[in-house]
Amino acid sequence: MTLTSKTPTAATAALEDRYLAIRDQSLALCRTLQPEDCVVQTMPSVSPTKWHLAHTSWFFEQFILVPHAPGYQAFHPAFDYLFNSYYYTKGQMHPRDARGLLSRPTLREVRDYRACVDAAMRNLIDSDSSDELAFLVELGLHHEQQHQELILTDIKHVLSVNPLQPAYAELPLPPVSEAPAALGFVEFPGGIRQIGADGPGFCFDNETPRHRLLLEPFQLADRLVTNGEYREFIDAGGYADSRHWLADGWAWLQETGTGAPLYWSDDLASEFMLGGPRDIDPHAPVCHVNFYEADAFARWAGARLPSESEWESVATQHAIDGNTVDTGLLHPRALPADTQGIAQLYGDAWEWTASAYSPYPGFQPLEGSLGEYNGKFMSSQVVCRGGSCVTPADHLRATYRNFFYPQERWQFFGIRLARDVTRNP
């Protein structure tokens, strides 16, 4: 395909550089993996690495190249079916739980697919400086960053079920930890607050529109719950006491027989990490707990989970600075003992909130097929906030709404507590 080119502006050059950097990062995440690693699917929520690499390319091809690049021909006619995720307006798709059965196309063919899409995207970015294209490219890049996080969380599950317990990579050891200060709570006043995205930066449609709501006074924990604190819940019989559990959570517990966070060993001494099995650090944030576990711990601790509006009203006052994928640790790390004030709002572990994933007042999804991106999932899921140790820092913002089903644990899910403020009459 040949496109008429022109000298790119500074804005288009910056967009092209960002495009290439993020696309290259997806491949960089796979450098320690063998082709055999990249085709395994261990449960329906997990997708093979190869599928992630192909699907993100399909996204750029279907939503940008096909409608906006004159003369572009799709790389392979069957890829529309194989690598569509959930866009029914784009046609039928291969069953999600059967992605691990796709030995073909090969990993090399998927990399060729990526290269073809990247070449066409570079030509298009150089030839089209419209705001519409810039938005679509930025949307595609944030979508890619979501899948970069999934590449890491999914391969962790894949490697964890292997009896060899192989490491994803040789990772640096976190700093030697000290016992953090006792969990404290910071009080915030109630009142009318503005929640949601409203500004020149990128956001997903589910973060809009910005709107007012009333918050009652509340307290928010100054850090995440640690492994040691969660172990106290386990030792106190927390998994055997129905008083702490929501009905659905108790039913899930009886069905699964769960007694500890995902990836903890049976003796509760070690946990599987992307760097392989390691001793559990009692001072690091607990992770890989689902909404039911987080809620049960909060009740046991005499607290509750924060609402997403409470969380956002605090997070907007803090810079995005934390243990994200950029640190290279790829696991939550302990907070320095001398830390002051609210900490760990960004990075380390996605924080379960008490908020159902539902539309904001006046919400309007994106037009066309892209309207399927977020809006149709606004049922039976729970909002998580803040990002994790495998989230890119430049992908995060205070208004970001992630969402998961309450029983899911394979993501880096953690716990921050909140409490009501009782006022004397």
Beta bridge partners, 380, equal none
pLDDT at 405 over 60: yes
Q: Report DSSP letters for 75-93, one per residue.
A: S-TTHHHHS--S-GGG---
Percent of the chain with pLDDT over 90: 92
Residues sharing a CB contact under 8 Å with residue 187, sequence separation 6 or more, in sequence order: 217, 218, 219, 421
Comparing CA positions, the residue from 37, 32, 52, 33 lying closest to residue 151 is 52
Whether residue 81 contacts residue 95, with contact meaning beta carbons closer than 8 Å, is answered with: no
| Average pLDDT for 47-66 | 98
Backbone angles phi, psi at 270, to 5 degrees: -135, 165
Residues sharing a CB contact under 8 Å with residue 217, sequence separation 6 or more, in sequence order: 187, 188, 189, 190, 420, 421, 423
Q: What is the DSSP letter of 243?
A: G
Quote helix, strand, coil % in the chain, to nearest 5: 40, 10, 50
What pLDDT is attached to residue 347? 98
| Average pLDDT for 92-113 | 97
Q: What is 185-420's CATH number, 3.90.1580.10, 3.10.690.10, 1.10.10.10, 3.40.50.720?
A: 3.90.1580.10
**268-316 pLDDT per residue, tens:** 999 999 999 999 999 999 999 999 999 999 999 999 999 999 999 999 9
Give the model's confidence band at 72: pLDDT under 50 very low, under 70 low, under 90 confident, else very high: very high
Q: What is 10-160's CATH number, 1.10.760, 3.40.1620, 1.10.150, 1.20.120?
A: 1.20.120
Whether residue 419 contacts residue 218, with contact meaning beta carbons closer than 8 Å, is answered with: yes
Residues sharing a CB contact under 8 Å with residue 109, sequence separation 6 or more, in sequence order: none
What pLDDT is attached to residue 350? 98
What pLDDT is attached to residue 414? 98
Q: What is the DSSP letter of 183?
A: P
Please state, in angstroms and rounded to a whole number, the distance separating the CA atoms of residues 138 and 203: 10
What pLDDT is attached to residue 4? 31
β-pair type (270-273, 382-385): unpaired
| Average pLDDT for 48-63 | 98
**212-271 pLDDT per residue, tens:** 999 999 999 999 999 999 999 999 999 999 999 999 999 999 999 999 999 999 999 999
| Average pLDDT for 24-41 | 98
Q: Report DSSP letters for 340-390, one per residue.
A: -SS--SSBSSEEEEEEE--PPTT--PPSGGGGGTTGGG-SS-EEEES--TT
Q: What angle do CA 171, 349, 177 make, to 5 degrees?
A: 55
What pLDDT is attached to residue 41? 98
pLDDT at 31 over 50: yes
Q: Where are the domains of the chain?
A: 10-160, 185-420
